[in-house]
C-alpha cells in the first residue's frame, strides 16, 4: 500500500512539474512573439520614408503627400504578416525586405487599378 501511495504521489509531482514546464514554455513563446512583433513594427517604420523617396523619383509612382500618408498604414498592415513569417529577417536585411514588400504591394495595387 505504501508503494502504491508513493508511486501516486510521484506521478502527481511529475504532472505538476510538467504543467509548470508547459506554462513556462507558453510564457516564453508569448514573450518571443511580442518581442518579434515590436521588432517588426520597428522595421515597418521604413515604409513612409521609402514611399516618400519613391514619390520624388520622376519616373516612379505619382502620389501626392496625402495619398502617401493614407497608404502607409494600409501597406504596413498588409506586409506585416509577411515580415513576421520571414525568419531570416534581421536589422541588416530588414530595410531591403520592407522595400521589396512595398514594391510588390504597389505593383499589385497598380495592377488592380488597371484592371478596373
Distance CA 75, CA 83 (A): 12
For CA atoms 6, 11, 16, 21, the dihedral sign is: positive
- Going from N- to C-terminal start, the domains of the chain cover 2-115
Taken as a whole, the chain contains a residue count of 116
The percentage of the chain sitting over the pLDDT mark of 90, rounded to a whole number, equals 47
The answer on pLDDT for 1 being more than 90 is no
Q: Outline where DSSP puts E strands in 3-102.
A: none
Distance CA 8, CA 39 (A): 46
The answer on pLDDT for 114 being more than 70 is no
pTM for the predicted model, two decimal places: 0.72
φ and ψ at residue 108, rounded to 5 degrees: -65, -45
Per residue in 42-86, pLDDT (tens digit) is 999 999 999 998 888 776 667 777 788 999 999 999 999 999 888
Cβ count near 40 (within 10 Å): 20
Amino acid at each position: 500500500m505504501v508503494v502504491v501511495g508513493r508511486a501516486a504521489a510521484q506521478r502527481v509531482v511529475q504532472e505538476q512539474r510538467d504543467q509548470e514546464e508547459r506554462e513556462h514554455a507558453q510564457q516564453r513563446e508569448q514573450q518571443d512573439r511580442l518581442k518579434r512583433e515590436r521588432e517588426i513594427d520597428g522595421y515597418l517604420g521604413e515604409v513612409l520614408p521609402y514611399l516618400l523617396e519613391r514619390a520624388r523619383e520622376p519616373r516612379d509612382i505619382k502620389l501626392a503627400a496625402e495619398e502617401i500618408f493614407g497608404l502607409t498604414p494600409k501597406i504596413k498592415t498588409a506586409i506585416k504578416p509577411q515580415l513576421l513569417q520571414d525568419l531570416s529577417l534581421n536589422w541588416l536585411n530588414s530595410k531591403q525586405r520592407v522595400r521589396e514588400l512595398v514594391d510588390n504591394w504597389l505593383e499589385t495595387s497598380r495592377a488592380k487599378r488597371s484592371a478596373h
